[in-house]
Structures are given as C-alpha cells and as structure tokens.
Amino acid sequence: MMHYLKYFFYSFILIVIQTQVLRLLSLEGITPDILTIWIVYIALKRGQLQATVWGFIIGLLFDLITGNFIGLAALTKTIAGFTAGYFFGENKTPLTLGSYRFILIVLLVSFIHNTIYFIAFTQGTEISLLRAIFQMGLATTFYTAVLSFLPMFAFARKYIS
Amino acid sequence: MQRLVNIILLFKEYFVLALLIIFSLILLNSNDNIQLRAIRSYTVGFVGLFQDAFSIIPNVFELKRENEILRQLNVNLSDEVNRLREARLENIRLRAMLTLKERVEFKLVTADIVGKSLNLLRNTITLNVGENDGLHQDMPIISESGLVGKLIATSGHYSVGLLMLNKDFRASAKIQRNRTDGIIAWDGGEVLRLKNVSKTQDVRSGDIVTTSEYSNLFPPDIKIGFVSKVTETPGSLFKEIDITPSVEFPSLEQVFVVTAVHDTERVALEKKTSRIKK
C-alpha cells in the first residue's frame, strides 16, 4: 500500500517537473518525456499489470493538468506501460535498469507512445502525418532516450557496482 | 464461472489494458463534458500555483529564439521606418511641386530625371519625356525650388537638359530687391556667378536672384538663388558676385519643363534686328 502512495506522489512531482521545468530544456518545441521513462521504470520494477494501470493514472493526471485532450495521454501512456511490461523480469530488473537495455526499452516504448500521441494530437491541424511521426514523434523519442541516460547511470551505480 | 474467472486472471493484463483503453476513448469522446471541464479547471488552477513559481526561471533557448525574432522584427521595422520616411519626403516634394504647378501660369510637363551628371564641366540631366510630350529644344527646366536649366536635345520619349552648372549655360537674371540686371553663368565651382554687374550697383549678400524679363528663353521671376558673396576686384569695372543656387542638384529627382513660353513674335523680331545689326 505504501508504495502506491509513494508512486502517486512521485508521479505527481514528475508531472509538475514535466510541465513546468522541462519546458526549459525544449529545443525547437521538442521536450523530453520523463513520464515515459518513469513508466518504463515502473514496468521493469513492478510488472506489466501495474505499469499499465500506472500508465493510465499518470496519463490521466497529465491530461487534467495540461488541459489537453482528456484521455489522450491516458491512452498512450497505458499502451506505453503495457509495452514496457513485456521487458519485466524479476531477477533481471537491476541489470536491465543499469544497462543500455534500459535505453533501448525507453527508445522503443517512447517511439510507440509518441507515434500514437502525435498522430492523435495533430488531428484537425495542418501538421502532416509524416511530420507528426518523424519530426515530432522521433525527435521527442530520441530526446527522451538521451535523457534516460541519467537514470541509467544512477541505476548502474546503485545496482551494479 | 470459475473457468471464466480463471481465463480473466490468466489474461488479466490484456483485460486491464482493454478496459483502460476503452475508458480512455470514452474520456476522449467526453472532452466537452461539463464535469470533465470542471475537474480540468480545478487541476489547471492548482497547477497554476506551480507555474507561477517556476515562471521566474528563464528558458535560455526560448530567450535566444525570442531574441532572434525581436532582432528580425527590429530590422523589418527599421526598413519600414525608412520606407515611410522616404514616402514622407516624396510627399513633401510632390506637394511642393503641385503648389508650383498651380501657381505658375505657363504650361508645365512633369518629368522624372533618369540620368544625371554633376561632376563634369558640362553637366546635363536626362528626362523621361520628349517630343511626344510636346517638348523641344531650349525649353526651360524648373523645379519647385527654382530654375534648373534648359533642354538641349529631344527625342520621341526622352530629352537632355543642360543644367545651370554647365559651362555653356547663360541666363538673364536680376536682383529681386533692386532690379539690378546681370548674366548668370557657371565657372566650374560650387556656386554660380552673376556677371556684368557694375561696381556702382547695390548688391548685398542674401539678395535673391531671379530670371529677368530680358530673357527670351526663361520666364521672368523664376528663382535662381541668392547672393552668397560680393567681391570688388581693383582694376575691374564689375563686381564678382557668387550666387548659391536654390535648387539642390544632387538630390533633384523630378522637374518640370516649361512649354509655350516663347513669345514667337518677339523672338522673330529680335532675330531680325540681330541680322540688321550684323
């Protein structure tokens, strides 16, 4: 029970950081998505079911806070949590978190998440589908993957050495 | 029943995923729902507190981009200011020309200067009007500031004017204040010369010089300039009088050509008497 509260609190803090602090790191309007990294962490730590539910909760909170389409981030982050859950392995968690595999998982999950998110987000706008996927989706994916090096190094230090 | 529960438990991840996706899609479809909007407004208001706190931190990249945009805007605005300034000056010039056109009695043809030389001893201008506009040789050229010169050659659509700043230019002139006559000429300096003015005549700096009635080319009372210097050379019968032209030749862009100024009867009579004198 305690860890649910802890996760909820961390999720809230990370959403605030995502919406208020990470804009300072935005390049050409592209911002890294630490919530996806967080969901991947939950998936590797707690398994697919919890990652899916937490993905939904985090996405819904994000939607409510940002005032965008309610349900969109909930949908995409649910799918992100579910996808990341496939890489859960109880005995391998420390090894995965502290290695390049963490980056690759973030890269894959983030790509799926961003592709769905930006395709839906740009509907009804003049932004083309290709631009939504390749320019916005891929750029955000790579930026997120680059940022995931930070937790990876921290995990490597904590679990491996 | 137990079997169904077992199946659900076996595929619980998929069931949960399906449920949450359906729930998300319902939410997506209910975006205009009043309750959702109310919840959203509460959360946005709550997060607004954090936004205020974080807004004091400047975004370096955003600031850089904003700076670039402002620089670009500054260049565009400067360009616009220059164009407006240019338009204002043109407006002033054209208004002055319009006033002159209304003031003078003779017929004027407006012309743009399409070529100009000011560094030679025989300076000329090329105008974009010609014989098709009713122009021919010896017609006076004036501007709103005063006398400019006269036409020396014409073609169908163009004409060449001889400026006052030309060794070959001569015009009968007078001091406006006391009607003292003289001949305007140019010796190659920055100023014109009023020649043939006797030392006994009263000429002072600042006197205005205009064309005189004695000229059979130029209409009378067209401003030429003002006396800028009067010198009396020992041994000479005449004063040396410098005239600063009222026309700014370097910035001259539009002029008028005066048509139908010749008194043909007078010109014919003067030519006839000239032949008799010879």
The mean-pLDDT minimum among B50-54, B226-230, B270-274 falls in B50-54
CB B169 within 8 A of CB B186: yes
DSSP string of B89-100, one letter each residue: HHHHHHHHHHHH
Structure confidence by residue, pLDDT tens digits, B184-230: 998 878 899 999 999 889 999 999 999 988 888 888 888 999 999 99
b/e B240-277 (16+ beta carbons within 10 angstroms → b): ebbbebbbebeebeebbbbbebbeeeeeeeeeeeeeee
Q: Which residue of B has its CA nearest to A72?
A: B28
For chain A, percent of residues with pLDDT exceeding 90: 40
Give B56's pLDDT tier (boundaries 50, 70, 90): low
Q: Residue B164: which CATH number?
A: 2.40.10.340
- B158 within a domain of the structure (yes/no): yes
Tell me, what's the ipTM?
A: 0.86
User: What number of other Cβ atoms are within 10 A of residue A160's Cβ?
Assistant: 11
Percent of chain B with pLDDT over 90: 18
Residue B16 domain-assigned (yes or no): yes
pLDDT at B32: 66
Interface of A with B in 65-94 (CB under 8 A): 65, 67, 69-72, 74-75, 78-79, 82, 85
Task: Collapse the DSSP code of A117 into the 3-class scheme (helix H, G, I; strand E, B; otherwise coil) and give the result.
Answer: helix
Q: What is the pLDDT of residue A158?
A: 81
Calpha distance B192→B182 (Å, rounded): 12
- CA distance linking residue A62 with residue A20, whole number of Å: 12
The full 3-state SS of B186-253, as one line of letters, equals ECCCCCEEEECCECCCCCCCCCEEEECCCCCCCCCCCEEEEEEEEEECCCCCEEEEEEEECCCHHHCC
Judged by CB atoms closer than 8 Å, whether chains meet at A64 and B12 is answered as: no
| pLDDT, tens digit, 9 for 90 and up, residues A29-87 | 788 999 999 999 999 998 999 999 999 999 998 888 776 678 889 999 999 999 999 99
- Cβ-based contacts of A71 with chain B (< 8 Å): 23-31
Angle made by CA atoms B173, B176, B177, in degrees to the nearest 5: 140
Q: Give Cα B7 distance to the centre of its chain.
A: 87
- For residue A100, the SS3 value is helix
Same domain, B211 and B153: yes
By CA distance, what is B43's nearest residue in A? A65
Do B12 and B144 reside in the same domain of the chain?
no
- pLDDT greater than 90 at residue A156: no
The answer to the question of residue B190 being in a domain is yes
Say whether residue B19 is in contact with chain A using an 8 A CB cutoff. no
Cβ B239 vs Cβ B201: under 8 Å: yes
Q: Are residues B112 and B47 in the same domain?
A: no
B66-109 pLDDT tens trace: 777 787 787 778 778 878 887 888 888 787 777 766 666 678 88
Chain A residues touching residue B28 (CB < 8 angstroms): 69-72, 75
CA distances in angstroms from B20 to A9, A55, B197, listed in the order given: 21, 10, 108
| B37 and B115 part of one domain | no
- Asked if residue B70 is part of any domain, the answer here is no
B137: containing domain: 104-267
Residue of B nearest to A120 (CA): B28
Q: Is residue B27 within 8 angstroms of chain A, CB to CB?
A: yes
- B21 and B153 share a domain? no
Is B261 inside a domain boundary?
yes
pLDDT, residue B37, reads 64
Look at B68 and A147; give whichever has higher pLDDT: A147
Whether B74 is in a domain gets the answer no
User: What integer pLDDT is reported at residue B89 of this predicted model?
Assistant: 82
Residue A25 in tokens: 């790191």
Identify the burial level of B99 via C-beta atoms within 10 angstroms of its C-beta, where 0-12 means exposed, 13-18 middle and 19 or more buried: exposed
Q: Residue B24 is nearest to which of A23, A25, A74, comparing CB atoms? A: A74
The pLDDT tens digits of the residues spanning B118-175 come to 776 778 888 888 888 888 888 999 988 889 999 988 888 888 899 998 888 889 999 9
- Classify residue B92: in a domain, yes or no: no
Question: Do B26 and B162 belong together in one domain?
Answer: no
Put simply, whether the predicted model's pTM sits higher than 0.90 gets the answer: no
| Overall domain count for chain B | 2
Element (H, E) at B127: strand B122-127
- Range scoring the smallest mean pLDDT among A92-101, A104-113, B47-56: B47-56
The C-alpha atoms of residue B6 and residue A14 are separated, in whole angstroms, by 37
Cα separation, B217 vs B264, in Å, equals 11
Q: How many whole angstroms separate alpha carbon A102 and alpha carbon A125? A: 34
Q: Quick check: is B273 in a domain?
A: no
Does residue B121 sit in helix, strand or coil?
A: coil
